[in-house]
Amino acid sequence: MDDIARYYRETLGCVMPPMAKRDVTAAIEAGLEPQLVMTALDETALAPRPSWAYARAILRRLLREGVYDEQAYAQRQARFRARHSDDLPF
């Protein structure tokens, strides 16, 4: 958890709130790999308004979809890009 809290601070620029620690612990206990939590924080940092609520929504979606590790996440992202590549204007 210390590594994730440090990464949270480095990525989002603030100290990880207690509710975030609780949610991350629950996500990891549910089977999410810690590295995938950090990937979700990276995705959050790219959002127009990064927040813990945004990161929590990502984690919940991953758990709901059964995406527990980086390999499954990469496959999910590839499927998403393939589905939405026709939406690109060029």
pLDDT mean values, one per 10 residues, the chain (90 residues): 97 97 98 98 97 97 97 94 72
The DSSP annotation for 8-53 comes to HHHHHSSPPPHHHHHHHHHHHHTT--HHHHHHHHHHHHTSSS--HH
Considering the entire predicted model, what is its pTM? Answer: 0.89
Predicted local confidence at residue 81, as pLDDT: 85
